[in-house]
Amino acid sequence: MAGIVGYGAFIPRMRIRTDEIARQWHKDPGTIRRGLLLEEKSVPGFDEDTITISVAAGRAALDRSGVDPARVGALYIGSESHPYAVKPSGTVVAEALGIGPDVHVADFEFACKAGTEAMFVALCLVESGRVEYALAIGADTSQGAPDDALEYSASAGGAAYLFGRNDTLVDVLATHSVTTDTPDFWRREGAFYPRHGGRFTGEPAYFKHVLASTRALFAKSGLGPQDFRFAVFHMPNGKFPLEAGKTLGFRREQLEVGWIVPQMGNTYSGSSPTGLAAVLDVAEPGDRILLTSFGSGAGSDSFALQATERLVERRTRAPTVRGMLDGPHRYLTYGEYAKVREKIIVND
Amino acid sequence: MRDVAIVAAGMTRFGELWDSSLRDLFVDAATEALDHAGADHLDAVFVGNMSGGLFTGQEHVGALLVDQLGMAGVAAARVESACASGGVALRAAFAEVASGLSDLVLAAGVEKMNDGADVTAVLATAADQETEVYHGLTFPALYAMIARAHMHAHGTTEEDLAWVSVKNHRHGARNPKAQFQKEVTVEQVAASALVAEPLRLLHCSPVSDGAAAVLLCPLEQARRYTDRPVRIAASGLATSSMALANRADPAWLDAVERAAAKAYRMAGTGPKQIQVAEVHDCFAIAEICCIEALGFVERGRGGKAARDGFTALGGCIPVNTSGGLKAKGHPVGATGIAQAIEIFEQLRGEAGERQVAGAELGLAQNMGGSGASAVVHIFERV
Amino acid sequence: MPSPGYWREIPNRYRLEAGRCRGCGKVVYPARRVCPACRGRAFDRTALSRTATVVTSTVVHVPPGDLLMEAPYAVAVVESPEGARFAMQIVDCDPACVVPGLQVNLEFRLIRREGREGILCYGYKGVPAPQGAEGRG
C-alpha cells in the first residue's frame, strides 16, 4: 500500500499582525480579527519564494524519510506563485535537493489546491508502480491587494510529502476529488494581485466543494467524522475551516491542531498541507486524519489517512510546524511589509 | 639590468572633474611630465587603468591615449591590476627601461569614475565575482570584514580608524592637488554615514577623476632631463588569494608582505631605513594593515600608529604625506603613479609644506582588490 | 549574470559541492582544477555540511543597485566543519548578533534577480542556529 514516507514544512520567519494592517487602512483591528479569526500571518523576505520554501520543506521530508534523493522518480510543485511564468519551479528544487536527472518534474497550478493535487498525482504514480518514490510539494508566497480582505490572510509557506510503497509513516486509506468550473477567485496573466467574488467565494465555492468532496470520501470509505482523530481543511481564513468542520460533524478538538491559520495566515497551496504537517507532528500510531483542500476555480481533494508506528520515531528528524510558528520570528511594520512584498514602486 | 631613474612628473588635480574626459585627464598629466623634462618623444607608454571599459565604455586605452598625446605609433599598452594598476604600470615601465628595451618611457595612470557608471558595481569587479560579489559583498564590505577581524584579534578600535582619516586629511590640506584640502575631526568621522560596519563614509577614499604620469629613463641619461633624478631602487610585485575567505588570516595582507620583502631584498634595505612612504589607504583599515605588512610596525600593532603620531608628518615614519587615497583622492588607475610622484617630490625636496626634512629613501605601496595584488617600489635620492 | 555562467555554478551554489584534494585532503569550495594548498590536480567530489561558523562579518549599508531594497544586510566569511571558508549573507536575525563564533544553518534562498525579466539566481544564506540546539547537518 502506498503512503507518505516523509513529510516536512517551512514557514518564513517574518510576520505581520492583523492589527498592523487594519490600522493602515483605518479599520477597527478588533473587528477584523474577530471577523476573520486571524491574529497574524507569515511574510516572505525578498530572498524567499515558492522555490526556496519548497527546498526547505522538501529537504525536511527527505530527512524524515531517510530516502536517498537520487531514488525520487517524480517531483511536483503546486503553487499559484511560481517564481517564473515560464520555467518550472520543480527543476530548481530538484537540483537543490540532489534529485535527478532521472526524474519526472512538473509544476502544478490550481489556486490553493495545487499542493494536494501534486500529492494525489504523486500517490497514484507510486501506487501504479511506475516510480519508486514521488515528492509532492505545495508552497506559495501569494499577494493580497492593499485594503482588501485577502491582505490580512495571504501569507507564505509550504509543505512537502514523499510518497512510497514501503516503510510508510502515514497510509492513504481513500481519496476523492470534486471539480466544477466556478469563477470565485482568479488572476489574469500579468495582473499583480488576484481578484475574487467577495461572498461568492463562500457557499457556492469553498463550502460546496469541501463538503461534497468530504461527504463522498465518507461514503466511499465507510468512515464518518467519529472515526477520525484529526481533520484538516483548507484555511482561507480562520472561520471557514471551523464552519466546514462543524457542518461535517467534527468537534472542535478534532480541528484544533491542524487549524494553524490564525498564526500562519493562508499559505494557499501550502495551507492544508501545512495543517496536515502540524497534525503529523503529534499524531499517534493508528490515528486517522481527514484532509480536504480547496482551490478556487474550483475543486477539492480529500484524503483519508492513518498514522503508522514509524511516524513517532521519524518525525524528530526535522523541525515541527509548531516549532516554526513559535520559534524565532520578527514583526514588521506595514511600511516594511509593503517594501518586502514589493508594493512600493521603485526604479528599475 | 640598468639603473632606472624618474626624471619628471605630471599630475592633474584629483576630484570631480566634470570638464575633463578620460582622454583630457591623461593628456594633461602626460604633457606636464613631458614639459618638465623637456622631452619631445617617447619610446613606450604604460597606462594603469582599472576599467575604462566599465566606467566609460572604452577599452584599448594604451593605444587610444598615446594617439591623444599626438604620438600614435609609439609602443603602448594598458596595465590592469584593479587598484594596483598604476603601481604595476610603473613596474612595467621600470622593467622596459631596466632591460634595455626602451630608453624613455612614460608610466601613467588614469581613471574617469564620474561619467555616470554604477561605481559600486564597477569597483566590485576587483573582488571575486563567483564567491563574493554574487552574494552581495561590496568592496567596502570586504574591508569592513578585515577591520572587524583586526579589531577582534588585536583590539583595534573604531576611533583608531578615525585617526587615520584625520591624519591624512591634515596632510591633504597641504597638497594643492588633493581632492579634499580640509581637515576633519574624529567626531566628524564618527558621525558620518555608515557604509559597511564599522566603516563610515569618512573612513573610505572618495570617487575621483584624475591622472598622473612619471617619465623614466636609464639613470645614466637622467641629467638630460633633470638635475635631480630619483632612482628606482626596487620593484616588488606579489599576489594573494583573491577571495578574503581564502586568506590564512583575514586581518593580514600577505600580498603586501611578499611584495615588500622582494623590494627590500632588491634594494638591500629594510623598513627601518624608509623615511617616507605612500601607502594604499583605500579604507582607513587598509593603512593600518599595510604599515604592519610593510614592517613599519609589528603585526597587530598598526591600530595606534596614526593616533600616536608615529605615521604623521613629524613622526617616526611619515605615511601618506600627500593626504593618501583618503584626502588626495583615488582615481583608481592613477593612484599608484600619484604615490610615486609624492615620493619623487619628497626626495627632491619639492614637497613644500609636506616636506619630510632630508628624506633620502622612500617607499610607495599600491594594492589591488581586498589585497589580492600588491606592488611596492623603493626610491632613493641620487 | 548571463545564464550559461550561472548554470555552470549550479553544483556549488545549489548543493555546496566541493572538492577534496587527493594529495593533501584539503576541501576546496567552490571546486577548482588545481588545489591552492598543494597544487594537486586530483579531487574527490564531496558536499559541505549545511552548517558553518562565522569567522568575520559586517553589515552592508550601501548595497549594489540590485540589492537596494534589502539593505542593510549582514554578510560574513564563514567556515564549514570540513574547513572550507566562503562568504555569504546572514539573514533572519538582528545583524548585530552576527559575531565571530556564531553558528549558522545554511538555507536555500534567492540571492539575486537579473532585473525584472532576467533569470533568478539562487544559493545559500546563513541563519543563526537556534540557541543551544545543534546545527542541522
* Chain A positions with Cβ closer than 8 Å to C: 13-14, 45-49, 51-52, 55-56, 83-84, 92, 95-96, 98, 327-328, 330, 339-340, 342, 346, 348
Residue-wise pLDDT for B103-147, tens only, equals 999 999 999 999 999 999 999 999 999 999 999 999 999 999 999
Q: Is the confidence at residue C135, as pLDDT, over 50? A: no
Torsion of CA C103, C109, C112, C114, to 10 degrees: 160
> What pLDDT was estimated at residue C65?
87
Cα distances (Å, whole numbers) of residue C56 to A326, B47, B128, C49, C74:
30, 36, 17, 19, 11
* pLDDT higher than 70, residue B43: yes
pLDDT higher than 90, residue C1: no
Least confident range from A51-55, C37-41, C65-69: namely: C65-69
What pLDDT is stored for residue C131 in this prediction?
73
Q: Do C87 and B146 touch (CB under 8 A)?
A: no
**Which residues 75-134 of chain C have a CB within 8 Å of chain B?**
75-77, 85-89, 95, 100, 111-112, 121, 123, 125
Position A313 scores a pLDDT of 95
Q: Is the pLDDT of residue C134 over 70?
A: no
Among C32, C58, C78, C94, pick the best mutation site for testing chain B contact (most B Cβ within 10 A): C58
Q: Which residues of A touch C70 (CB under 8 A)?
A: 46-47
Q: What distance, in Å, lies between the first and last C-alpha atoms of chain B?
A: 18
Chain C residues with a Cβ under 8 Å from any Cβ in chain A = 10, 14-15, 68-70, 89, 91-93, 107-111, 115-116, 120, 122, 125, 128, 130
Instruction: Please report where in the chains the cell 549599508 appears, as a residue.
Output: C61
What is the grid cell recorded at B259? 611584495
Please give the pLDDT value at position A1.
78
Residue with cell 624618474: B6
For residue A183, the Cα-to-chain-centroid distance in whole angstroms is: 21
Report the run of H or E that residue A312 belongs to, with start and end.
Answer: helix A310-314
Residue A18's SS3 state is: helix
Point out the residue among A83, A98, A346 whose CB comes nearest to the CB of C15. A98
Q: Cβ–Cβ of C87/B193 closer than 8 Å?
A: no
Are B135 and C87 a contacting pair at CB < 8 A? Answer: yes
Per-residue pLDDT tens over the stretch C93-110: 999 999 999 999 999 999
Whether residues C15 and A84 touch (CB distance < 8 A) is answered with no
Name which of B196, B197, B245 is nearest C87 (Cβ-Cβ): B245
Q: List the single residue in C36, C100, C111 with the smallest CB-CB distance to B246.
A: C36
Name every chain C residue with its beta carbon within 8 A of the beta carbon of A92.
14, 122
In which band, very low, low, confident or very high, does the pLDDT at B160 lie, cut at 50, 70 and 90? very high
The answer to whether the CB atoms of B243 and C86 lie below 8 A apart is yes
pLDDT given for residue C116 in this prediction: 87
CB < 8 Å to A330, chain C: 92
Cβ distance of C122 and A52 shorter than 8 Å:
yes
Q: Say whether A40 is catalytic.
A: no
Low-confidence ranges of chain A (pLDDT < 50): none
Distances from the Cα of A49 to the Cα of A7, A95, A139, angstroms: 19, 16, 9
CATH 3.40.47.10 in chain B is located at 4-117+207-230, 119-204+233-381
What single DSSP character describes residue A289? E
Which residue out of B118, B148, B151, B203 would a mutagenesis test of the C interface target, given it has the greatest number of C Cβ atoms within 10 Å?
B148
Nearest to C110 among A52, A339, A342 (CB): A52
Q: Give the helix/strand (H/E) hosting A253.
A: helix A252-256
Q: CA–CA separation, A174 vs A158, rounded Å?
A: 23
**pLDDT confidence of residue C115:** 87
Q: Which fold has domain C4-128?
A: OB fold (Dihydrolipoamide Acetyltransferase, E2P) (2.40.50)
- Concerning whether A234 is annotated as a catalytic residue, the answer is yes
Place of cell 592613477: B334
Q: What is the pLDDT of residue C122?
A: 98
Look up residue A322 and give its amino acid.
Answer: R
Query: What ipTM describes this predicted complex?
Result: 0.93
Per-residue pLDDT of B241-272, as tens digits, reads 999 999 999 999 999 999 999 999 999 999 99
Candidates C68, C75, C92, C113: best to mutate against A (most CBs of A within 10 A) is C92
User: Is some CB atom of chain C closer than 8 A to the CB atom of B197?
Assistant: yes
Question: How far does the CA of residue A87 sit from the closest CA of chain C (Å)?
Answer: 10
Phi, psi of A29 (to 5 degrees): -55, -40
Domain ranges of chain C: 4-128
- C96 vs chain B: nearest CA distance in angstroms? 10
**Cell numbers placing A220:** 466511499
pTM listed for this prediction:
0.93
At C132 the pLDDT is 53
The CATH class for the domain spanning B4-117+207-230 reads alpha beta
Any C CB within 8 A of B161 CB: no
Pick one of 3.40.50.10420, 3.40.50.460, 3.40.47.10, 1.25.40.10 as the CATH number of B119-204+233-381: 3.40.47.10
Cβ–Cβ under 8 Å, residues B74 and B360: no
Residue A14 pairs in a beta bridge with A43, A330
Grid coordinates of B324 = 593618501
What pLDDT, on the 0 to 100 scale, is given for residue C133?
47
For residue A192, the model assigns a pLDDT of 86
Are residues B260 and B149 in contact, defined by beta-carbon separation less than 8 angstroms?
Answer: no
Chains that touch C (3 or more CB pairs under 8 A): A, B
CB atoms within 10 A of CB B120: 16
